[in-house]
Amino acid sequence: MTDIPADHPRHDSLVTRHRIEAGVEQGITSKQGLIAQGRGEAFDYLLGERTTESADAAARVAAAHLLRARHPVLSVNGNVAALCPGEIVDLAEAVGADLEVNLFGRTAERVRAIADHLREHGASEVKGLRADARIPDLSHERAKVDSDGIYDADVVLVPLEDGDRAAALGTMGKTEIVIDLNPLSRSAQVAAVPIIDNVVRAVPNIARHARELRGSDADLEDLTAGFDPEAVLAAAERAIRDATGGSERSPDGVQD
Ligand code: ATP
Ligand code: MG
């Protein structure tokens, strides 16, 4: 990997890009994943490559949902595995969740490579290899999940999920937390809790909130009940418009 000077103005973005390239080389990330990364980078640029206040609030609500869940599951795809393997393993530990490999372009080889990669980063158990259950109303390969994993989960975190599968999981009655940089993406729009942020920032941020909430007497139910997903999507769109000089056109001029 090329050395990127720490003072380079696009340091974090370039490091992230190199991790995805390495993921492709290791057989963890698909070529489609490279395209998804490009789309994500564009939105991150517009958001100022920072966690907005509303994304932080959504991350806290996500932590509360995961802590309250009967069976929380974190879904891991090739981009997440390449970008933040240690952080997703740490989040699973912080909230007592299962990790399940769940791929859009599923091959047994890539599922195994990702599971191995997560174990190298400290995961003790990784689901998604059995794939003995199906999400209803999705075509065969994309519907595959573990019966004692995502199929059974009441709360699922699906970072970078594709829109169809996100909608299908929601229809199964699961509380769905989506991390996606694009507030217009269907995945973000069908989520109970959309977090409009980069996974590399959002995943450790949810873990931080979870640990803080666990050590406090905060009412988790209150926190989840008062959440408005539409407001989060609107705040992200506003942040993008303001960053691109559209604030004059915004009637309320609200800053995120
Ligand atoms: P839709 O959700 O509307 O069906 P899609 O999921 O099919 O769209 P993709 O081309 O798969 O669209 O796009 C991948 C999505 O992942 C994009 O919305 C992009 O913003 C998001 N994304 C990519 N990299 C990251 C990242 N590092 N962190 C958060 N989101 C990301
Ligand atoms: Mg999407």
pLDDT digits (tens, 9 = 90+) for 72-87: 999 999 999 999 999 9
> CA-to-CA distance for 91 and 210, rounded, in angstroms?
8
pLDDT at 2: 61
Q: Cα Rg for the chain, rounded, in angstroms?
A: 18
CA distance 23 to 80: 10
pLDDT at position 245 is 75
165 close to 203: Cβ distance less than 8 angstroms: no
As a 3-state breakdown, the chain gives helix, strand, coil percent values, each rounded to 5, of 55, 10, 35
pLDDT number for residue 28: 97
Which residue has the least CA distance to atom 28 on ligand 1?
198
pLDDT at 243: 81
Question: Looking at the domain assignment, is residue 144 inside a domain?
Answer: yes
Position 128 in a domain: yes
Q: Would the annotation count 67 as a binding residue? A: no
198 annotated ligand binder: yes
Residue stretches of the chain with pLDDT short of 50: 248-251, 253-255
Residues 256 and 58: beta-carbon distance below 8 Å: no
Residue 58 included in any domain: yes
Domain ranges, residue 146: 53-238
Is the Cβ–Cβ distance between 193 and 177 less than 8 Å? yes
In a domain, 158, yes or no: yes
The number of the ligand nearest the C-alpha atom of 77 reads 1
| Å from CA of 185 to ligand 1 middle | 7
- Whole-number Å distance, alpha carbon 39 to ligand 2 midpoint, is 10
Ligand 1 pocket residues where CB is under 6 Å: 36-37, 39-40, 43, 79, 83, 160, 162-163, 179-182, 185-187, 198-199
Distance 60 CA to ligand 2 centre (A): 21
List residues bridging with 178 in a β-sheet: 158, 194
Q: How many domains does the chain have?
A: 1
Residue 186 marked as a ligand binder: yes
Residue 69 half-sphere exposure toward CB, CA atoms < 13 A: 29
Q: Decide if 24 is inside a domain.
A: no
From the CA of 140, how far away is ligand 1's center (Å)? 22
Is 74 part of a structural domain of the chain? yes
Residue 187 annotated in ligand binding:
yes
C-alpha to C-alpha distance for 98 and 145, rounded to whole angstroms: 13
Q: Which ligand is nearest to the CA of 83?
A: 1
Other C-beta atoms closer than 10 Å to the C-beta of 251 total 5
The pLDDT of residue 44: 96
- Ion ligand 2 nearby residues (CB, 5 A): 163, 185, 187
Instruction: Establish if 20 belongs to a structural domain.
Output: no
Residue closest via CA to ligand 1's atom 30 equals: 180
Both tokens assigned to 114: 């990702």
Closest ligand 1 atom to the C-alpha of 197? Answer: 29
Return the CATH number at 90: 3.40.50.12640
Distance 46 CA to ligand 1 centre (A): 15
The span from the CA of 69 to the CA of 148, in Å, is: 15
113 Cβ contact list (under 8 Å, min separation 6): 26, 27, 28
Tokens 């003790």 found at: 124
154 is in an annotated binding site: no
